[in-house]
Amino acid sequence: MEKIGFIGTGVMGGGMVRNLLKAGYSVNIYNRTKAKAEPLIQEGAVWKDSVSALTKSSDVIITIVGYPKDVEAVYLGENGILANAKEGSVVIDMTTSSPLLAQKIYEEAKAKGIAALDAPVSGGDVGAKNGTLSIMVGGDEAAFQRVRPIFEAMGKNIVYQGKAGSGQHTKMANQIAIASNMLGVCEALAYGERAGLDMEKMLQSISTGAAGSFSLSNLGPRMLKGDFAPGFYVKHFIKDMTIALESAKQMGLLTPGLALAKERYEELAAMGEENSGTQALYKLYRA
């Protein structure tokens, strides 16, 4: 089995690493804060002290970090992944990041005999924990087929989308769909609450009908319980919407629903909720 290097063991990465370990893979890990990785080390992951050390001792390197600037920092430069990866290795960025940056990494990797895939995910902390993530992949299909068993250890809906950048463009479409949907979910729950409905019964009815969605079924109950812990951070969702708006603008596409959702989430972040889960948007409707 390929030896995996995994960079970024946060809310999403931790669950993904655990599923790789369960599948029998040897996993090297690196995180900016070692203390946060200690539970994974105790479960069998091997700590490496730097990006370069992890890269040199791995066949497939997976990253899931915060922002495009973090992706650029970890891949490019003399201490980055591409400068230290072995020829013939595969690098997989599973961060939600810029399609243009994914294409740049692909081209620089190809020049060094390294295969690069952009493979962002959807499914939140629950999907990461349960190994049921939706994984959307861009890059060369041969590289995708080579590492497909690795993806299968972390997700269920795994789709090869096409050339480099296609995975990120697909994730942008995903985030655009979620953004407007989150407004609808919050408004529906606020309406039901204001009308004096039994909220559990209301949610039971509408979540299984035409209004059903992941956000309604999985985040709706958290909203009603006042559970705003992050499965996916508000600050990261704002980052995703910013990338999507920029990409849409480059293509000459108007996305007013996305723009409104971003404005509302920025309002939420200004209240000090940037590190809350995206379901904290409900607070704006209950204020």
CA separation for the pair 250, 181 (Å, rounded): 24
- Among the listed residues 171, 201, 235, 249, the single catalytic one is 171
Q: Which residues are CB-contacts of 251 (< 8 A; sequence separation ≥ 6)?
A: none
Distance of CA 131 to the CA centre of its chain: 13
Compute φ and ψ for 96, nearest 5 degrees. Answer: -80, 115
Closest by CA position to 44, among listed 10, 17, 64: 17
**235 noted as active-site residue:** no
- Look at residue 24 and give its three-state secondary structure: coil
Start-end of H helices in the chain: 11-22, 34-42, 51-56, 68-75, 81-84, 99-111, 124-130, 141-154, 166-194, 199-206, 214, 220-225, 234-250, 256-268, 282-286
Catalytic residue positions?
A: 171
